[in-house]
Structure 1
Amino acid sequence: MKRRSVAVLSAGIIGSSLVLAGCGSTSTPSTGSSQAVKSPVGNVAIVALAPQVSPNWWFPIEANTNYSDYNSAMSNMMYEPLIHISRTDGVNYNRSLASNVTWNSNGTVYTITLNKKWHWSNGQPVTSADVVWTMKLMEYLASGKAPWEYGGTGIGGLPTRWQSVKADGPYKVIVTLNQPSNQQWFLHNGLGQVVPVPKSVWDIHKNLANEAKFLQSVANSPQDSYYSVVDGPFKYSPQQSKPNDQYWTFVPNPNYDGHKASVSKVVYEYESSSSSEFAALKTGKVNVGYLPASLWNSKQELVNDKFSTSYLFGFAYMVPNFSPKAPGHFAQLIAPAYVRQALEMGIDQQGMINSFYHGHGVVEFSPIPSKPKTVFNDSAITNPAPFNPSAGKKLLEEHGWHMVNGVMTSPQGYPFKFTLDYSSGSNTMADEAQLMKQDWAKEGIDVTLESQPFNTLINDNDQANVTNWQMVWYGLWTYQPDFYPTGGGLFKTGAGSNSGDYSNNTMNALINKTYEPGTSSEITAAMDAYLKYAAEQLPVIWVPWVSSFNETAVYVHGVNKWFNPITDSNSPNRWTITH
């Protein structure tokens, strides 16, 4: 699994088909004519970031403390992936650095052939040396020996299954795994997460340990010359940016070997709040953004925008801190699965969907919600902990819990009290948090709410700071680069994005089973078994999976057409603007 992001993020921000086409997207045209309105800002796309979010890691291999959609949105503008995952979760080799990937019958050896058309912006070709160096760097950063950890550790068998990565000439790479593997899983999750960088630019120290320290020092310095050599559709423009929480500007890469951009520049703009983003849409200062759910009744004021909805491929969740060092004996409190079920019974998901999202959402109780419709959905799984605070309270009491001074207390004498840290800047998330607090109180659970900026949450609420937090609500998780959604990057013991330190031997075994090759029915059965166990165990606390509310100016074209709900990414090089 991969990217964390705030729940208010819209689509405008940022082989065989595994996900059905369409992905539940709907749109409503504006009352005006898109041909009649011209851009008041010229041939420029101005994109709103989520409230109180700014990019803070630009190198394509992101640290686990900076592992977010917002950072990948920046690097994706500049660097091409080895494998381009399509809107239907297949592989589009026309847009990949690889022209072809083949494998042996048991899924241990993968041969990657590179397309010779791709070049870096300095004119040098993209070669196997770039791919091999990048993959070896990923292995090191996932090894546990590096000064910082790659956020994708555990995804695609990294590093435990990766045996060797070798060049076979300038345009061929051979990857060998140490055990038989599900070929589609490794294609999507192993090779799908590789975004090569130019070895000639970045291989400075000839020593991975020193290289990792150097990369960390420049990860948030896109103005440095290292970032000027790219193979993607855009280049970062330091001269046209004000990165101190204001805006970040990209201009077309004139040497790009793919579809060249027609827009003159793309600007990502910082938003202090959801209301400020709405005001920017209304005045035309932002032309690609989102409708805050809290301002749904005001959407008619955006007369020059097109409104659309879509479901991303992912889920929404809160992370409990399972570390024994968590404050307030919290790990001991939530260790039994029935306690997490009781917590889930205190979340009125349907009420949130109806009241805050105007019906645009689904109740979530497994890592793969019912929308968008995919081949991974298992309709046989039922909700083991539907909303019912009275039943949640009874469940605790049946296991020996009792009320002390109005607070539910464990058989060991620990009061069920904790702090929920959640992302600030969204009125809707604040309202949801208040509703959960009220409903949990009906079970005798005493919750304190604290809001923090998104970047602070993902930096401070992890296993490097286990004594500082109890439960955190980032927002949502999208399946990238774990495009084959097996859960290995999030729920396996020690995984790079397992920020709550969840550990369960049965879960590990079920996830490992999804990695194995087999018949179609065997592979489906393995995935269903993992999903059923995750629904029962609640390694995280589920919250509603809701549609994004997207707003695009009528003079900006192609945003919805080229948006990819699987990778949660846009293709601004394919947008056009009437100006």
Structure 2
Amino acid sequence: MRFLPGLLALLMVACGGDRSEVEEPSAPRLPQPVELELDDQGRPLPSVLADEQVIHRGNGEEPQTLDPHLAEGVPSANILRDLFEGLTTTAPDGRIVPGAAAHWDISRDGLVYTFYLRPEGRWSNGEPVTAEDFVWSWRRVVDPASGAAYGRMLAPVVNAGEIFAGRLPAEELGVTALSPTSFQVRLNDPTPYFLGLLTHPTTYPVHRASLEAYGSAHVRPGNLVSNGAFRLLDWQVRSRIELEKNPHYRAADSVIAERVVLYPFEDENTEFNRFRAGDLHWTYQVPNNQFRWLQRNMTEALVVAPWFGTYFFSFNLNRPPFRDNLPLRQALNLAIDREILTEKVTRFGEIPTYHLIPPGLPDYESPIPEHADWTQDERQAEALRLYRQAGYSEDEPLTVELRYNTSENHRKIAVAVAAMWKDVLGVRTRLINEEFRVFLQNRAQGRVTEVFRAGWIGDYQDAFTFLELFHSEHGRNDAGYDNPRFDRLLEQIAGERIPSRRRNLMAEAERILLADQVVLPVYVYVSKRLVDPRLRGWDNNIMDYHLSQHMYLLRERDPASPLQVTDEN
């Protein structure tokens, strides 16, 4: 593995040198919980519970909306899973379990699902949740006028494609309220991942009367009516979002937490310091350059686990310099040393990758590009050849913008990537960081973006959740990729009933996507958090779904200060 002199210097800047490993922060004394004792129903005894059941969570970027049909990004989804509930939901270990629906029937051919809603299901204002609520909500999702970013998630439903294209009204969607508590869905083809898809916020019901009364303001405190375990109490933009237990929730008696407070942190170091000070019970992420210190000093709190997601960069294919210039995109891809990025920059066990879909699926294996088996020197030599073929050289270098949302970890990766492009090819890179909402807006509009940070955490455990993003009509196809052959493959995959053939079609679709160099894959995610030892109801799962309704706080064994910071190292 070759370290170029300029790259080494810039990596030192990107990572802040090794000062974090020399000037270590003092190690906190973590609070120790009392021993957990359960009753006959498996619930914690009141005597072991903390007096105050208020959970404080770090939550990444500020959500742009709390409308489940319009929201984008993991931070929004975290909150929406507390506020709303779909037909299915997830257990702490990630298993799909009944949610708003108590049970369901599936026809023998796999084309008709009939969901039986819980009669005790209620909105946060006490009104019953009905099958008609789901009918109206799903019609809203597929209606092009609604602007639902993930509307195509409902593409398996009968007539959804025609509605997306504007050839049919939303009322023709294949969903029916058979009775107030019976909701039926007709699919075009058997869809193996359908029950998992229903845990996504896009499929949640919204309260029609509130939306029609308040318009876009229906998501504000006092206006938002939801059907989940919590309801919205307060939203201080860029400061905190506070939820309180929903007394009308169908399983309110099983929810121990009384309130949940979620904080947006764009700076991982700020979040880390808030946890050390005892202000948070778990973090959204941690600073990459603190990994070794955390391993030595906070092993009880550090949680690192595989995550079903890929970190990548994407090219805007609708404008220069990347439109109709495949060699240039290939050159920038090959010039990146993923091993250096994961070992020297991210440093949290991330897995370098050359494909889009992460490993771990029981019935899918990604096609491996030829260059994945090359040495880095071979990749760099080919990158330089392609760069010249694309029309650039040392005398006429490429000048490009690399855009990312505000985050110290994203900044470090962007600086390192720019350094690699500079050292290997001579590329001049302008780094542009943007607040998350602006970043998403610019990506979607595609008017100013050239190269931009991207990433995807699977919405359900199937390779299709990654592939469908690049359908020419998908709302999150920010690269502007438009390949009719790829689109046809996605349609074949949706209709294929034989697992082996479906698997082969998905592999071919990913091969085409990688060959067209739409994305520049970097690494497979791991989730990395600090979790207070007193917090229970947390389990690792590959989807990284952690619903607050499963969580509670144990009493501290030593009732002294919650997180005493000492001078011990």
- TM interval, shorter chain, is 0.7 to 0.9
Q: Of 214, 231, 237, which aligns to 1:235?
A: 231
Q: Give the structure 2 partner of residue 133 of structure 1.
A: 136
Shift in Å, 1:174: 2.9
Q: 1:376 to 1:345 in 2, by over 3 A?
A: farther
> Identity of paired residues, percent?
17
Q: 1:396 to 1:98 in 2, by over 3 A?
A: farther
Q: Structure 2 length normalisation: TM-score? A: 0.79
Q: Give the structure 1 partner of residue 10 of structure 2.
A: none
Shift in Å, 1:88: 7.8
The Cα offsets for residues 537-568 of structure 1, whole Å up to 9 and x where unpaired, read as 33222122232221011211222x2x5532x4
Unaligned runs of 5+ residues in structure 2 are 1-28, 37-47, 164-172, 556-569
Secondary structure, counterpart of 2:304 in structure 1: strand
Q: Give the structure 2 partner of residue 60 of structure 1.
A: 68
Q: Give the structure 1 partner of residue 410 of structure 2.
A: 429
Q: For the Cα contact (< 8 Å) 1:493–1:502, is it kept in 2?
A: yes
Q: 1:41 to 1:57 in 2, by over 3 A?
A: farther
Q: What RMSD in Å do the two structures reach over aligned CA positions?
A: 3.1
Shift in Å, 1:322: 1.4
Secondary structure, counterpart of 1:548 in structure 2: strand
Q: 1:516 to 1:161 in 2, by over 3 A?
A: farther
Q: Give the structure 2 partner of residue 368 of structure 1.
A: 357
Matching residue's letter, 1:295? Q
Matching residue's letter, 2:383? G
Q: Of 120, 132, 149, which aligns to 1:151?
A: 149
Q: For the Cα contact (< 8 Å) 2:92–2:547, is it kept in 1?
A: no
Q: 1:32 to 1:264 in 2, by over 3 A?
A: closer
Secondary structure, counterpart of 1:515 in structure 2: helix
Shift in Å, 1:172: 1.9
Secondary structure, counterpart of 1:330 in structure 2: coil
Matching residue's letter, 1:403? S
* Larger-gyration structure (1/2): 2
* Alignment pair present for 1:342 and 2:323: no
Q: Give the structure 2 partner of residue 102 of structure 1.
A: 106
The Cα offsets for residues 502-532 of structure 1, whole Å up to 9 and x where unpaired, read as 1111211222221013222222222222222
Q: Structure 1 length normalisation: TM-score? A: 0.78
Q: Give the structure 2 partner of residue 210 of structure 1.
A: none
Q: 1:467 to 1:379 in 2, by over 3 A?
A: closer
Q: Give the structure 2 partner of residue 79 of structure 1.
A: 84
Q: 1:356 to 1:42 in 2, by over 3 A?
A: farther
Instruction: Spell out the pairing of 1:77-226 with structure 2 (5 A cutoff).
Output: 77-84=82-89, 91-93=96-98, 95-97=99-101, 99-103=103-107, 105=109, 107-140=110-143, 143=144, 146=145, 148-157=146-155, 159-160=160-161, 163-177=173-187, 180-189=188-197, 193-204=202-213, 215=215, 217-218=216-217, 221-225=219-223
Q: For the Cα contact (< 8 Å) 1:393–1:444, is it kept in 2?
A: no
Matching residue's letter, 1:196? P
Distance 2:237 2:32 in 1: 37
Q: Give the structure 1 partner of residue 542 of structure 2.
A: 565
Instruction: Spell out the pairing of 1:476-555 with structure 2 (5 A cutoff).
Output: 476-480=455-459, 485-487=464-466, 489-555=468-534
Shift in Å, 1:161: 6.0
Q: 1:486 to 1:55 in 2, by over 3 A?
A: closer
* Alignment pair present for 1:281 and 2:237: no
Distance 1:46 1:89 in 2: 22
Shift in Å, 1:100: 0.6
Secondary structure, counterpart of 1:224 in structure 2: coil
Shift in Å, 1:41: 9.5
The Cα offsets for residues 92-141 of structure 1, whole Å up to 9 and x where unpaired, read as 22x34251141352x5444333233322233332211111110111121x
Matching residue's letter, 1:258? A
* Alignment pair present for 1:351 and 2:352: no
Shift in Å, 1:437: 1.0
Distance 2:152 2:220 in 1: 27
Aligned length: 497
Q: 1:346 to 1:249 in 2, by over 3 A?
A: same
Distance 1:460 1:513 in 2: 32
Q: Give the structure 1 partner of residue 245 of structure 2.
A: 252
* Alignment pair present for 1:575 and 2:551: yes
Distance 1:496 1:270 in 2: 25
Q: 1:400 to 1:483 in 2, by over 3 A?
A: closer
Secondary structure, counterpart of 1:312 in structure 2: strand
Q: Of 368, 371, 374, which aligns to 1:381?
A: 368
Shift in Å, 1:448: 1.2
Distance 2:348 2:263 in 1: 29
The Cα offsets for residues 391-435 of structure 1, whole Å up to 9 and x where unpaired, read as 2111333x463525251xxxxxxxx32100112231x32222122
The Cα offsets for residues 238-285 of structure 1, whole Å up to 9 and x where unpaired, read as 2xx5x1311111111122223632122111113251111111011111
Shift in Å, 1:469: 2.0
Unaligned runs of 5+ residues in structure 1 are 1-29, 205-213, 408-415
Secondary structure, counterpart of 2:150 in structure 1: coil
Q: 1:531 to 1:114 in 2, by over 3 A?
A: same
Shift in Å, 1:86: 6.1
